[in-house]
Structure 1
Amino acid sequence: MSTSELAIIGGNPVRTSPWTAWPSATKQTMANLEDAMLSGRWAISGAYTGATGYEKRFCQAFADYQGSSYAIATTNGSAAIKIAMQEVGVGPGTEVIVPGLTWVACASTVVELGAVPVLADIDPSSLSISVQAAEAALSDKTIAILLVHAYCSAADIDGFIDLANRTGIALIEDCSQAHGAEWRGEKLGSFGQLGVFSLQQTKVLTCGEGGIVTCNSLDAYNRLQQYRGNGRIYSSSPAAGQLELVEMGEVYGANHCLSEIHSAIALAQLELLDEQNAVRETNASYLANALEKIPGVNTITPPAGLTRRTYYDYVIQLSADIVGPFSIHRVVEAMAAELGTFVETLDAPMNSNLLYNPLLSKIANTKELISQLDPKRFELPFSHKAYNSSFAFLHHLLLGTTKDMDDIIAAVLKILRNLEKLREK
């Protein structure tokens, strides 16, 4: 087989060796797991053993890492978004501004709470929600803006803080793709009223499934605990052998509590985050320097305020004359075949996303709500342009060596040399 022929049509791939595995467990991960498993307490709803539990330890460590006063762990990122939205008053009769290019849970959680997601287009340079588009989408029903920092970049924090100050609208920062990133030297997630993070398997900080919310208000912290713990909060003076959670019942809560097992993993992974982020940043810089020299190929330029980037989905964009004759999906298939790993498009724009159909929800029960919830009523031109011209791979590829980065560069060049063979029939 030819090394110049595309792997997708029978040639030899650029790479046959495996990539750095993700997620990866260390000796500390295994030690934490063994300790948690033998502790006699696998959930925060279990009896207090006299020792501080892993969930509490992880939350304190993450709050310290973020420079926040408090952190509340949840079962997943969607639950983190949910309780954050409950805290700012999202519910029937309200609207939340959501990016038009993001993961479906950002909008579906709003619907779950009986509110209406209003889709705002992205800034084409950062691929995060646009300040101008968000401001244009405001109404007298708007209660919050979900500020998603996406694709190794960030939304314009300065612009959104100004907007929030002028309007009184709550900002919730979704940093599920930005653990450790900084804006003018301060952690993303510390600028809004609340910060939310996912700890799902693919994230740079993971425990398999989990989420976490950060805040600086003690009152908010106590309510958030109740939203995630069926109306319960941690006791300030627990007794060994007794339940550590005490009943408050001040809000309508549900069970979104992260287990001690997941928390033990998360605590060990947090210790690795900065070191791993530094490796990703070095390799991402090497990759960008090479890719930017290839005509028609671009990477994401971060806003000036983003003083420390983190890398989750590494995005490569192709010019219209390159990708125009065929679907970006063909490029994704070809890259995956050359590299022997998962390559993907960006999230589908929310007004044409197969996973987002709010008209199937129980709240779509009046003519007015059906009209308001219909995602097709929103225009998202920049989201569609980005989707149709971009592909991405996950961050664990950036945990390798410069030789690994050379393979990515070689795959891009090989595909560009064989564009005619990618044209769809």
Structure 2
Amino acid sequence: MSHYSDLAIHGGRPVRSGKWPGWPISSARTVDNLQSVLDSGRWSISGPYRGTPSFEQQFARGYASYTGARHCVPASSGTSSLTMALEGCEVGARDEVIVPAVSWVASASAVLGINAVPVLTDVDPRTGCLDPAALEDAITPRCRAITVVHLGSAVADLHGLLRVAQRHGVPLIEDCAQAHGAHYDGQHVGTFGRAGTFSMQHSKLLTSGEGGAVITDDDELARRLEHLRADGRTLSGEPPPIDQMELSETAEVMGSNYCLSEFHAAVLLAQLEKLDAENAARRRSAQYLDDLLRQLGCEPQATADATTSRAYYCYVVALPDEVLLHTSVQRFAQALSVELSLSCKPMYASLNDSRLYRPETRRRFALDAEFIEAVRPQRFELPAATEFARRSIALPHRFLLAETSDMLDVQRAMEKVLAHARRL
């Protein structure tokens, strides 16, 4: 075994000092599209019509086609997309919404934001995604929606979840913020439930810095979503005169301003062109790395059996139990980061233990004693989610865009840190 000082976190030489691919990666088309927006005199869908389709609508059509959905309604963020989907499905004050226990905080805070109650629900210990059996146990007569998150590189058990949702007559909303380009049973994720939501935040596989979208096959829901994102307005059926606003004040539904700017839409339209190639490169590297890390006793994140193709937002791997007897996943991730010159992090904490999910810090959620207790995260017992978080680390997807042979550096770094776990 190497000496204690050999660990880079203790001053030793790191396994890798060279750079990994950066993220985001723009293209010539990205620059051209942005210049077109600058020159157009229209920087938002609420700006004056200039005689050509907006980039927002070009992206909406392009992403609907890409996912196989009938409609796509762009939005300003993943959180606003989830908010729109929930309200589009008529979720409101004090309604219960199923939320997977392992996810980014917005999965729960978006529910709270419409004064509904997030019901934190346990996960499949292999995938970290919502568990159909736990879902069955968590549904009550007050449940108005089920949200499922396709987490890391895993696709949830959609067939199992849909059976439960349909049996109870509750709509399923797919949160696909980490799954652009993933397919289940030959179909793009986001098209199984009543709606699929996406985030295009900086770190996402399809990104414009910030942004989002909701996809659906439901014509009525799509029209409601359009109103919800544009202050009760929707795009008129016919192009207006030049210099007039394209949004029509139908006022069918009171909305909010969740509009995606023309700059963001222009970037997304260009980035979409290279998404499939980047996803294919990530899959090749991940499949090779899976075999390398299993040789060390680590277990890469699983996905549902019917998954057709994975999309690697992050590479998640569970550490061996014997290693975690001597160190924490947090400390292990810190040491691995220094060895690889790459930011490696623990997977999300279970939402009942998340530092970011704290409803008590916002007075807007203090409606009454009953509501305060209903949204208190600590009231939920989530053993599978807690264990998944305790064991799992996540590596950012950009490293998977390196050469496949570079995955050997990851194996070497993992082997080195595993060997020194007692001294961490």
Task: Give the TM-score normalised by the residue count of structure 2.
Answer: 0.97
- Say whether the 8 Å CA contact 2:327–2:422 is kept in structure 1: no
- Say whether the 8 Å CA contact 1:175–1:197 is kept in structure 2: yes
| Alpha-carbon distance in 1 for matches of 2:346, 2:317 | 10
Which residue is equivalent to 1:49? 50
- SS of corresponding position for 2:93: coil
- Say whether the 8 Å CA contact 2:285–2:401 is kept in structure 1: yes
The one-letter code matched in structure 2 to 1:367 is: A
- Say whether the 8 Å CA contact 1:4–1:414 is kept in structure 2: no
- Say whether the 8 Å CA contact 2:97–2:143 is kept in structure 1: yes
- Say whether the 8 Å CA contact 2:59–2:265 is kept in structure 1: yes
Instruction: Map residues 276-425 of structure 1 onto 2, 5 A cutoff.
Output: 276-295=278-297, 297-361=298-362, 362-422=364-424
The one-letter code matched in structure 2 to 1:265 is: V
User: 1:256-315, CA deviations, whole angstroms, 9 ceiling, x for partnerless residues?
Assistant: 0000000000000000010000000000011001111113x1111222111111101101
Displacement after TM superposition at 1:358 (Å): 1.4
Which residue is equivalent to 1:249? 251
- SS of corresponding position for 1:127: coil
- Say whether the 8 Å CA contact 1:2–1:11 is kept in structure 2: no
| Alpha-carbon distance in 2 for matches of 1:4, 1:287 | 27
User: 1:230-260, CA deviations, whole angstroms, 9 ceiling, x for partnerless residues?
Assistant: 0011111122221111111111201000000
- SS of corresponding position for 1:132: helix
The one-letter code matched in structure 2 to 1:91 is: G
The percent of aligned pairs where both chains have the same amino acid is 39
Instruction: Map residues 125-140 of structure 1 onto 2, 5 A cutoff.
Output: 125-140=126-141
- Say whether the 8 Å CA contact 2:124–2:130 is kept in structure 1: yes
- SS of corresponding position for 1:161: helix
1:203 partnered with 2:204: yes
- Say whether the 8 Å CA contact 1:94–1:143 is kept in structure 2: yes
Decide which moves more: 264-273 or 211-220.
211-220
Q: Tell me how large the CA RMSD over aligned residues is.
A: 1.3
Which residue is equivalent to 2:229? 228
User: 1:193-232, CA deviations, whole angstroms, 9 ceiling, x for partnerless residues?
Assistant: 0000000010000010000000112221111011000001
Unaligned runs of 5+ in 2: none
Displacement after TM superposition at 1:365 (Å): 2.7
**How many residue pairs align between the two structures?**
421
- SS of corresponding position for 1:118: strand
| Alpha-carbon distance in 2 for matches of 1:174, 1:184 | 17
Q: 1:189 to 1:420 in 2, by over 3 A?
A: same
Which residue is equivalent to 1:27? 28
| Alpha-carbon distance in 1 for matches of 2:3, 2:319 | 26
Displacement after TM superposition at 1:3 (Å): 11
| Alpha-carbon distance in 1 for matches of 2:107, 2:421 | 36
Which residue is equivalent to 1:65? 66
Q: 1:302 to 1:383 in 2, by over 3 A?
A: same
| Alpha-carbon distance in 1 for matches of 2:172, 2:228 | 19
| Alpha-carbon distance in 1 for matches of 2:3, 2:53 | 60
Displacement after TM superposition at 1:77 (Å): 0.2
The one-letter code matched in structure 1 to 2:263 is: I
| Alpha-carbon distance in 2 for matches of 1:3, 1:140 | 57
Displacement after TM superposition at 1:359 (Å): 2.3
Displacement after TM superposition at 1:93 (Å): 2.6
- SS of corresponding position for 2:196: strand
- Say whether the 8 Å CA contact 1:205–1:266 is kept in structure 2: yes
User: 1:106-159, CA deviations, whole angstroms, 9 ceiling, x for partnerless residues?
Assistant: 111111101100000110011101111111111111000001110211211111
- SS of corresponding position for 1:409: helix
